[in-house]
Structure 1
Amino acid sequence: MIFHRLLTQETVIQLIDQIDREQHLLFYSYLTQRRDSAQFIGQFVNHQLTAVLAYTSELSFPAFSFYCANNQQVYFHELITFTRTTLQLDEHVICGTILCDRDLQLFQSYGLITGNPQRFLTMKHGDQAKLLEDNRAERIKEEEYSEAIDFIRKGGMRFFTRSEIKGCPFLGIKDGRDFVAVGGFHFYDRQLVEIGNIITKPEYRGRGLGKLLTSQLTWMGKQLSADVYLGVMKENQPAVHVYESLGFETTAELSIVDFTLSCHEFTSKS
């Protein structure tokens, strides 16, 4: 028997201790940091939870996280159809998520992926001795929020919500009155510390500002949790090398994808 429903808060909380955080960091962030604003659609086969699609409307596009508890028991077409109907989303709307290789193949087998997947690394900080002692970046003040948000968005940051800068520490470096580099957190909580949104003005790149900001943010993150994470495109090797020089190590290699909710494969089971 197959059925779908929105998961209760109790079930969502139970999942926190059941998943591998480092391999499913995006889903973990939905469970812990976006739990109150996200919707979790579960598929049950013979009363066992087999897959979850978590959705948030906080970003500039429909954002999802997919978790598969049992790849051999997922009825994917049915899950996508129920999700589309429940959330009242058009089947051709462009959505976004981050997938492991196994789940990427599942999405591809149903014709959901649009464009080319981009390889993405999850990194975790290890060697504290590699961090810098430079603390010249200053915390962004409330009256500077709008200016900082404009700077981040002009830098092309897609995975950014206005609530991040209000709820997490952000650091900035200025030349005169203007920001030339800004860095902050996606999440700053004892359950999850994830650095994100490191933006440097193009003409100021190559001066070590991104490295300085990352180091200072890592120090801040360590005040809350021993585990500090960040994500970076694999093709951005200069950034990867900077993070490695600061003591970060890759824990997972994934793919950022755009996808639709229109299944082209109509077999019942993956």
Structure 2
Amino acid sequence: MKDQLNLPDNAVGSVIVNEEVMALLASQLELVKSPKKLLLMKHIHQEALPPVYTSVVHLGPSDFELIESKMADLDTMAFSKEELQYPFYGVMEQRELIAVGGYHIYSEDYVELGNIGTDVRWRRQGYGRKICTELTRSGRRVTSNVYLNVLEENIGAITLYQSLGYALMCKQYMVEFVI
């Protein structure tokens, strides 16, 4: 496959797999680094969502450079230019994007929130909750299958997601491997 795709010798691939598949792959792949443990969570309690936040704005194509810049500042784990076609929401303060979030997948069957972050200077003030609430609400208008992944070590985010009606579905691993 490496030759067919004309990939360089130092090419790295990545994949998210569940625990069962990870056990099978562990001995078959040359890992670049230790896999990151993730939790897949699904939104199942719509009544847990707080009221609509008017401070959260829908971001559009004219905001793409702003979104990309903020994603770089936040050092998001996974983000592709193609994902900018999906809805994004943000909070602006003093003409600055201070919190943002969007989707990795957005279809009529499955929505996956991602890239949720708040500028370090504005954290612990509820902006992540606001962004996640509006992303979830938007996703629920499309499908009841609204998911997100969160690093297992991010206890604060897990607690936030649970308070908004998310429940653990399974444990997963983000794996980076030599191709």
**CA distances 1:204-223 after superposition (whole Å, capped 9, x unpaired):** 11111101111111111111
- One-letter amino acid matched to 1:85: D
TM-aligned CA deviation for residue 139 of structure 1: 0.8
TM-aligned CA deviation for residue 140 of structure 1: 1.1
Q: 1:111 to 1:223 in 2, by over 3 A?
A: closer
Secondary structure of the residue aligned to 1:210 is helix
Which of 112, 126, 130 is the aligned partner of 2:48?
A: 130
Give me the whole-angstrom Cα distance separating, in 1, the residues matched to 2:20 and 2:31. 14
Cα pair 1:107 1:113 within 8 Å, conserved = no
**CA distances 1:66-112 after superposition (whole Å, capped 9, x unpaired):** xxxxxxxxxxxxxxxxx223223245422211122232233321351
- Is 1:197 matched up with 2:115? yes
1:146 is aligned to 65
Which of 74, 98, 102 is the aligned partner of 1:155?
A: 74
**CA distances 1:9-63 after superposition (whole Å, capped 9, x unpaired):** xxxxxxxxxxxxxxxxxxxxxxxxxxxxxxxxxxxxxxxxxxxxxxxxxxxxxxx
Show structure 2 runs of 5+ residues with no match: none
Give me the whole-angstrom Cα distance separating, in 1, the residues matched to 2:20 and 2:45. 30
Secondary structure of the residue aligned to 1:85 is coil
Secondary structure of the residue aligned to 1:146 is helix
Cα pair 1:132 1:216 within 8 Å, conserved = no
Give me the whole-angstrom Cα distance separating, in 2, the residues matched to 1:108 and 1:188. 30
CA RMSD of aligned residues (A): 1.5
Point out which structure has higher relative CO (alpha carbons under 8 A, 6+ apart). 2
Give me the whole-angstrom Cα distance separating, in 2, the residues matched to 1:247 and 1:99. 24
2:159 is aligned to 241
> What is the TM-score normalised by the length of structure 1?
0.63
> What is the TM-score normalised by the length of structure 2?
0.93
Q: 1:86 to 1:223 in 2, by over 3 A?
A: same
TM-aligned CA deviation for residue 191 of structure 1: 2.1
Structure number with greater Rg is 1
Give me the whole-angstrom Cα distance separating, in 2, the residues matched to 1:106 and 1:127. 34
Aligned pairs, number: 178
Secondary structure of the residue aligned to 1:84 is coil
1:210 is aligned to 128
- Is 1:113 matched up with 2:42? no
- One-letter amino acid matched to 1:226: S
Show structure 1 runs of 5+ residues with no match: 1-82, 262-270
TM-aligned CA deviation for residue 116 of structure 1: 1.1
Cα pair 1:182 1:199 within 8 Å, conserved = yes
- What percentage of aligned pairs have identical amino acids? 28
Cα pair 2:109 2:145 within 8 Å, conserved = no
TM-aligned CA deviation for residue 190 of structure 1: 0.1
